[in-house]
A and B are shown apart, each in its own frame.
Chain A
Amino acid sequence: MSDIIRRDPRAEWIVRNRLHPLHLSLVKSQQGDVRGPSGLLRKNVRDVGFIGPNGIKRIDRANLLTVDTTTRRSASKDTQTARPLHVVEQADFYIMVVADMVGGRLTAHDKDLLGQAHRLVVQYSDVNSQCCGAVALVCFGQIKDDQLGLSGVDRLFHLEDTVYDGFSPEARLGALQQIESQYQPLHWLFPDSVHGGADLACRFSARIGERLAAHVWQLDREQCLSRGASGSMDIKRATPRIVTLLEECADPIEDTQHQALPMVLEPMAVPSARLKEKGQMAVDASAVPLAEAEFILSAGNGIHNWAQFHATATALGATEGASRVAVDEGFMPRARQVGASGTWVTARVYVAVGISGAIQHMQGIGQCDKVIAINTDAGCDMVKRADLAVIADSDALLMALASLVEQHQLAKHAEQIHGENSNAA
């Protein structure tokens, strides 16, 4: 959206038409502020609403009929300006949030942590109202998120250097130590994630010799509740300085915006790396163990064209599964069997192609979130269980699906190239 001021012919027409129910309000709004004799801003309390079609005055509280001023701006700008700015003039203490920043963007987990950090700041301020704290985000590498302030970042430690690229826990640990010695934050919050958050937290805790609380899911100024013994126990203890937090520990910031002021670090010596990254290896999605797969395309008796099924699974990036019959017939290896006598899967999305749904199979997919059925029999159990069922021949449907994915990929690829070109420009 651009900032170009546009004409609104309809509004102009209403202003001209004195009989239009919105005429008065529109004229008023275009007149601008009315100031009283003393220079105070005045508001005409009777000047609300409009006369409805049957002559009765109506007040449109839901703003259903409101027309904006003659100018319209982009929607995002509007919501942005709608949020009040939370300003921290001088921070007396800091709560550090070390973000995962997967792909240069805050993850939902990171945002939850920022929300948690602000709750801590509020709790500390309640105790000592003179004190004023700031939530500082520590992030490494390139940032693609340009709205960090909207997620609740008061201060930003942005460490952008080649030493922090990719897998570099030792360099990152060095930076955290530097922040620690320079700012002595009140708390360090890390996401308890596989993206490096938990690893960095453990390194940091071991380095500065302070015990952390791991897998915390409830946290306040004094106490925290952490999951222990592979999620089977809750441990309540005094909140330590270093905490790794589970997802959804607190609500993310949604009502305020923050300054996201960049902070500077004194130059530091980068430790020599004993771990050296040699790059990433591409791994086949279909090799992912069935029990851990997030997205499964599963084949049953209704599949006739197996080559096409495999091709579709590859195109979708889905892990392949199979019903017992398909395995018995020898079309799929036993390790791919889903169901009570095969693997109990936990996929978020399960697409069952040509599987009518024997009771043992349904048991195996009990924990799946979304089930999509593709079947020719509308009365089968799988269709009854499915969130979305399609009554069609699997061959034609898989072909259509594969071509859709292909188009999608092409479009995305084109966009990427375009993006890179414009960046270069």
Chain B
Amino acid sequence: MQPNVNVVSLVSIGRHPQSGRARRAEQDGRAVELGLKLVQDKLTLLHAGNAHETVLRQYAGMGLDGFTVLPQGEGDDAVPVLVAYFKANRQHHSRQIVLTGVNAESGESSGMLPYLLAEQLGWPIVPRIADIVRVDEFEAEVLLALPRGQRRVVTVSLPFIASVDSAAQEPRQSAFARGLRATLTTLDYGSRVDDAVSHWQVAPAKPKPKRLKVVKAKTAADRMKAATAKPVGGGGKVLRNESVEEQAQAIFDLLLEEKVIR
């Protein structure tokens, strides 16, 4: 089944959590993977930003002959350009699906971009999808990713925007040479600086303080006890000679306490 829709995967430049280096973003890669699953190499790979970023070729290396870039400066707002692009595109394709990641891996990463696009284009947005099961004339059936591997089935009318969750199919390997050969198309829809950003103070993340277990003590004696008591479970308990039932019970109790058994 190859539905007659125009699928656009909107990608950004990722950031490796350990090295901080530019990379194929986890969720955006999944958005491309899902797009490839739907329409193979007819997928449009779109990026708003620096056209010469080599990471874009990593996306293209997943199996595309080319990609489109709407050139933008460092602090520009991508939304107006993208809206202009999709409005222009609407004349050619009435049925469109736009796939993005949930949050960008750099910048503010508020995850607002798909919502702003949807609002301004008047399209519905489906958040955190794991898969698109079916696409037909007017609507698509998608799977929403819920915590702990659960899925919810939702139908949505075309055209729509979807953000792809980390639960979606992992992106395939990028073939270096294929990406190297991919042709770059740049389309100029102008650019607009994001003013708000200039008022921000940006600093490397400080470690977030871990919340301590607060002891609610009504009396001085209780507070004293709480302050001087040995922290529980420091060394690790070893059950050696208990019966199997007792041992199992001990494990079971710990699992219950940790709330992994419900």
User: Which residues of chain A have a CB within 8 Å of any CB of chain B?
Assistant: 61-64, 166-167, 169-170, 194-195, 198-199, 202-203, 205-207, 211-215, 217, 226-238, 246, 248, 251, 254, 274-285, 287-288, 292, 294-295, 316-318, 348-349, 351, 369-370, 372, 374, 378, 383-393, 396-397, 400-401, 404-405, 408
Smallest beta-carbon distance A294→chain B, Å: 7
Chain B residues with CB under 8 Å of A295's CB are 255, 260
Closest to A384 in B: B236
**B233: chain A residues within 8 A (beta carbon):** 387
8 Å CB contact of B153 from A278, A318, A370, A385: A278
Check if B109 is an interface residue, CB within 8 A of chain A: yes
Interface residues of B (CB under 8 A from A): 15, 17, 20, 103-112, 115-116, 118-119, 124-128, 141, 143-144, 146-157, 160, 166, 196, 199-206, 208, 211, 214, 216, 219-221, 233, 236-240, 244-245, 247-252, 254-256, 258, 260-262
Which residues of A are found within 8 Å of B250, using beta-carbon distances?
388, 390
| Docked CA distance A408–B115 (Å) | 44
- When distances are taken between beta carbons in the complex, the residues of chain A under 8 Å from B110 are 202, 212-215, 228
Q: For the complex, what is the distance from the CA of A212 to the CA of B165, rounded to whole Å?
A: 21
Pairwise interchain contact A233-B204, C-beta atoms closer than 8 A: yes
Q: Which residues of A contact B211 (CB under 8 A)?
A: 248, 251
What's the Cα separation between A154 and B25 when bound, in Å? Answer: 42
State A235–B141 Cα separation when bound (angstroms): 37
The 8 closest A-B pairs by CB, nearest first: A400-B248, A214-B110, A278-B153, A295-B260, A206-B119, A274-B124, A206-B115, A202-B115
Shortest CB-to-CB span from B104 to chain A, Å, is 8
Decide: B152 and A279 in contact? CB cutoff 8 A.
yes
Are A388 and B205 CB-contacts (below 8 A) given A206-B116, A230-B15? no
> Among the listed B104, B152, B239, B254, which residue makes an inter-chain contact with A167, where contact means beta carbons less than 8 Å apart?
B152
9 pairs of residues in contact across A and B, judged by CB atoms under 8 Å: A206-B118, A212-B112, A234-B206, A275-B154, A280-B153, A287-B149, A288-B149, A387-B233, A392-B239
Most chain B CB atoms below 10 A, which of A231, A235, A349: A235
A386 with B236: CB separation less than 8 A: yes
A370 and B254 within 8 A (CB): yes
Give the docked Cα–Cα distance between A251 and B247 (Å): 37
B215 to chain A, nearest CB (A): 12
By beta carbon, the residue of chain B nearest A225 is B206
